Structure 1
Amino acid sequence: MNSTCQISLINQPILADWQREKLVQIHEGKVYIYLPVSDKFPLQNIQKAARSIEKMGVDTATLVGELWSEDTQWAFALGFTCAEKLTSVEFTGEKSCVDSLNNKLAVFGWARDLTNQTPTQLPPESLAKSAIDYITAQAPDKVTAKVIAGEALEKEGWVGIYNVGKGSIHPPCLLELDFNPSKAEKTPVSTCLVGKGITFDSGGYSIKSNAGMFNMKADMGGAAVVAGALALAIRQGLNQRVKLILCCAENMISSHAYKLSDILTYKNGVTCEVANTDAEGRIVLADGLLLAAESEPAMIIDAATLTGASVMATGGDYSALFSLDQKLADQAKLTAKAVNEPLWQLPLEIWHQEKCPSEFADTANSRPIPGGGPGGASNAAGFLSRFVPNEGKGWLHFDLSAAYNGNSNRLWAAGATGLGIATIANLLTSEPSK
């Protein structure tokens, strides 16, 4: 197979023999994806075909022909791209369509590559710098950023990020990036994006198994998704003020690491007993949500590879959505459907705040049983809800159970998927539901 290959989409088989019903058909050196008009899962089958074509040794796929739409081309790109070729697709069609697809491919490629980097390549401060550099490049005169790192976190009261990251030789940090197209200091903040940026998660003293730790370079996937979403929204013409907050730390074991039964006191006065050092994502996100609330935004969106429970619930095919604001949750689900990103809402009520009780503090960060016990994903969201304003109105929590695959499968190459970026980007640029 040539390193560059033209791919056509057809709805009538190009072959008349036993191969006529095959999804991928090769005839006279040309490659075709056969998608009958009656196909019930067209985007999924195109993504599956793209994985097969990439495995043939094709380095760059050039899409040709009149049957390709924007949605089908994007499905192909998601299936074809992989760690070594994250932007190796050439699109076809009207210039506006090609430009839109190229913008998405570039941002997804950046975010996926960031997530695929090793923990040694990407310590916490490097993650923050990467986000600053990439987003600033999208709008150089409209972005400012502040990073608080190391001991300064404790001095300024960001106890969650500080404690989770203090056991590592790589200092933890909190990034607050401000995209302000008006450049006016008093411009209201439309949205705050908060991302979990755990660049490696050993589990701390609640140490993970070897198998459970192997893919933990991707535990900063939430940070990559929200940073990518902001970059994509800027490329799509975002004209609202948005702040990006990344909670960056490496969760390691050392003589200085935080311990089970430690009690943290957050800026809002909530006390938290550490019942599981491996439930660190919610500990750092609490700081990010408190910082977000200071800007009094209309909407707060956080994203995190937060719980194994969400993977168990969704099979890793969907991201999980939680909210106490059902109107906003409905808008998020419609937005996800419009951009073909699988999203499933799981239960969250205000009483989920009480699902991780402590005898010594207002709450624990989990329950000291495997996986946090029944309803673990909802309980984690309940913990986070203690740190958002307005009783949760305007808040969305994405538990990114489909953010990363340790092994390739029929739809995805191994590595980060970028799922969630398009949904959140569209939420930033769309009008709120009435």
Structure 2
Amino acid sequence: MLPCFAAPGATALTLHAVTPEGLAAWTSRHPAGEFVTAAGFAAKSGELLLLPAGHGLGGAVVGLGDGAPSAWSFGGLATTLPAGTVWQIEGTAEPSRAVLGWGLGAYRYSRFRAAPRDPACLLPPPDTEAAQREVEAVWQVRDLINDPANILGPEELAETVAMLGAEHGAAVQRVSGEALERAYPTVAAVGRGSARPPLVADLTWAGSTAGADAPLVALCGKGVCFDTGGYDLKPAAGMLRMKKDMGGAAVALGLARLVMQADLPVRLRLLIGAVENSIGAHAMRPLDVVRTRKGMTVEIGNTDAEGRLVLCDLLAEADTQTPALLMDFATLTGAARVALGPDLVALFAQDDGIAAEILASGDEAEDPVWRMPLWPGYGSWLDSQVADLANVSAKPHAGAVVAALFLQRFVSSDRCWAHFDLYAWNDSPRPGRPEGGEATGLRAAFRAIARRFGTLTRA
């Protein structure tokens, strides 16, 4: 259990959750109502007021704000309520949102420096185990993204997949060396310049009720543990956060964890391309031509467009198994961030049904996703005079769309495929979202999978 959640039976103070609309009725019946009114408490979202009792603390009241219930109303409580205190919530109609917001707000990256204080603990309400699992998955994803690149390289990322597999009875294979050159040649090409060898981690699992004909869910993750840009070197400022360039792999790993914990009736395959894009004697160069797993040749117009090279081989391999759903996750383009900012995940899908499900799931989970077009008119921008296609366009426009069109070349036209171009980072702290690594798109993707293949229904 995470340190922000109390064990069952713990003695807890009461945290009253109140909306502005219900505030007058609450103050009229609660013994501390006059105190709350005199203090000017207005029940704005996340507004907190401690309640006295004799010479001590008698409880607290938190505002839910107007509109639909939000997890973020509870996002600051673990670090603003007194350290080490234990609380139980009263008055919220959606306790799972309270658990999610509380848990996500309690996170601090503490591998090298202890958190400044202990969190206040929540006694989870009944039937909120799924929300607790989501919190645990997000914590793991954030830890992976926040780990510096000297600690988390390709080998360590692959070992994390192996440990996840061992925990859930999944089979995990590691493909490296000459086998990687044969099976995943573009992954090998991207990682060839680093002293830390590239590899692919391949996890397979089946739910306890999933037979041989159960639907296959395939997840692919870009695991570039550090991205210098290669010979198309990034400027110093552009390299500062490139430890997070494995954020797509971290989200895919967290998603696989949730699928297995929920024991969904599916077969699962997780493919992680774990590499480092460095400059070295063997690094790929601009205008090199590489051969992909699918057999197509790619001219390297820019060595900093390496993520799509990692993903294209993974997608080609996953596609051969005819998955019922194929998803990939990557911190792929700055263009997606220019278009949508840090919070919105850019979603590309060639199936309208799964796109609608992901969008609805993102809204429900407060994990927003925005659909972008796979505009076929830009497909010719990837033409090359010396290879089957180029990895970049010479035009300055629609970078995220062009990257998605590149990946689409490696997926069957009738495949239910969704591509997530995500940021995986919080630039500044907000309730429930501390600065640093973030599992953007994770909850949206999981709910869409659970709704399509499991028993989850829309709230």
TM surpasses 0.5: yes
- What letter corresponds to residue 118 of structure 1 in structure 2? P
Cα 1:262–1:31 change in 2 (3 A) is: farther
Return the match for 2:420 from 398, 415, 428. Answer: 398
Question: Residues of 2 paired with 1:65 and 1:56: CA distance?
Answer: 15
Question: Residues of 2 paired with 1:249 and 1:17: CA distance?
Answer: 59
Conserved? CA contact 2:165–2:172, under 8 Å: no
Cα 1:280–1:90 change in 2 (3 A) is: same
Q: Which residue of 2 is the match for residue 381 of structure 1?
A: 404
Q: Which residue of 2 is the match for residue 348 of structure 1?
A: 374
Return the match for 1:230 from 256, 265, 290. Answer: 256
Counterpart check, 1:79 vs 2:105? yes
Q: Which residue of 2 is the match for residue 417 of structure 1?
A: 438
Conserved? CA contact 1:180–1:240, under 8 Å: yes
Question: Residues of 1 paired with 2:371 and 2:217: CA distance?
Answer: 21
Q: What does the per-residue CA deviation read over 1:91-150, in whole Å, with 9 as the maximum and x for residues that have no partner?
A: 4464322x222222222212211121111111112101112212331x22xx11111113
Question: Residues of 1 paired with 2:190 and 2:143: CA distance?
Answer: 25
Alpha-carbon offset, residue 42 of structure 1:
4.2
SS of alignment partner, residue 254 of structure 1: coil
Cα 1:168–1:8 change in 2 (3 A) is: farther
Counterpart check, 1:127 vs 2:157? yes
Alpha-carbon offset, residue 266 of structure 1:
1.3
Farther off after superposition, 374-383 or 291-300: 291-300
Q: What does the per-residue CA deviation read over 1:375-419, in whole Å, with 9 as the maximum and x for residues that have no partner?
A: 111111000000012x15310001113x21244346521112223
What are the equivalent positions in structure 2 for 1:220-259 lying under 5 Å apart?
220-259=246-285
Question: Residues of 2 paired with 1:90 and 1:304: CA distance?
Answer: 34
Cα 1:61–1:209 change in 2 (3 A) is: farther
Counterpart check, 1:66 vs 2:90? yes
Question: Residues of 2 paired with 1:349 and 1:247: CA distance?
Answer: 27
Cα 1:313–1:195 change in 2 (3 A) is: same
Cα 1:62–1:361 change in 2 (3 A) is: farther
Cα 1:322–1:58 change in 2 (3 A) is: farther
Q: Which residue of 2 is the match for residue 35 of structure 1?
A: 64
Conserved? CA contact 2:224–2:307, under 8 Å: yes
SS of alignment partner, residue 446 of structure 2: helix
Alpha-carbon offset, residue 199 of structure 1:
0.6
Structure 1 stretches lacking a partner, 5+ long: none
Q: Which residue of 1 is the match for residue 9 of structure 2?
A: none
Question: Residues of 2 paired with 1:201 and 1:18: CA distance?
Answer: 52
Question: Residues of 2 paired with 1:432 and 1:42: CA distance?
Answer: 27
Structure 2 stretches lacking a partner, 5+ long: 7-11, 28-34, 455-459
Counterpart check, 1:277 vs 2:285? no
What are the equivalent positions in structure 2 for 1:144-223 lying under 5 Å apart?
144-154=171-181, 156-181=182-207, 186-187=212-213, 190-223=216-249
- What letter corresponds to residue 180 of structure 2 in structure 1? L
SS of alignment partner, residue 327 of structure 1: helix
Cα 1:58–1:272 change in 2 (3 A) is: farther
Question: Residues of 2 paired with 1:87 and 1:161: CA distance?
Answer: 42
Greater Cα radius of gyration, structure 1 or 2: 2
Alpha-carbon offset, residue 76 of structure 1:
3.3
Conserved? CA contact 1:194–1:301, under 8 Å: yes
Alpha-carbon offset, residue 57 of structure 1:
8.1
Return the match for 2:127 from 90, 96, 101. Answer: 96
Alpha-carbon offset, residue 343 of structure 1:
0.8
Cα 1:256–1:57 change in 2 (3 A) is: farther
Report % sequence identity: 29
Cα 1:195–1:45 change in 2 (3 A) is: closer
Alpha-carbon offset, residue 424 of structure 1:
2.2
TM-score, length of structure 2 as denominator length: 0.83
Counterpart check, 1:15 vs 2:41? no
Return the match for 1:262 from 288, 291, 295. Answer: 288
- What letter corresponds to residue 412 of structure 1 in structure 2? R
What are the equivalent positions in structure 2 for 1:330-345 lying under 5 Å apart?
330-345=356-371
- What letter corresponds to residue 283 of structure 2 in structure 1? A
Counterpart check, 1:358 vs 2:384? yes
Cα 1:92–1:277 change in 2 (3 A) is: same
TM-score, length of structure 1 as denominator length: 0.87
Conserved? CA contact 1:24–1:34, under 8 Å: yes
Conserved? CA contact 1:161–1:173, under 8 Å: yes
Alpha-carbon offset, residue 225 of structure 1:
0.8
Farther off after superposition, 213-222 or 127-136: 127-136
Conserved? CA contact 1:353–1:385, under 8 Å: no
- What letter corresponds to residue 413 of structure 1 in structure 2? P
Cα 1:279–1:40 change in 2 (3 A) is: same
Question: Residues of 1 paired with 2:403 and 2:101: CA distance?
Answer: 32
Q: What does the per-residue CA deviation read over 1:239-288, in whole Å, with 9 as the maximum and x for residues that have no partner?
A: 21110000110011111111111111213232211111111110100011
SS of alignment partner, residue 295 of structure 2: coil
Question: Residues of 2 paired with 1:173 and 1:205: CA distance?
Answer: 21
Q: Which residue of 1 is the match for residue 334 of structure 2?
A: 308
Return the match for 2:447 from 413, 419, 426. Answer: 426
Cα 1:342–1:231 change in 2 (3 A) is: same
Q: What does the per-residue CA deviation read over 1:304-328, in whole Å, with 9 as the maximum and x for residues that have no partner?
A: 1111111111111211110111122
Cα 1:61–1:110 change in 2 (3 A) is: farther
Q: Which residue of 2 is the match for residue 113 of structure 1?
A: 143
Cα 1:31–1:392 change in 2 (3 A) is: farther
Conserved? CA contact 2:382–2:391, under 8 Å: yes
Cα 1:62–1:320 change in 2 (3 A) is: farther
Cα 1:180–1:172 change in 2 (3 A) is: same
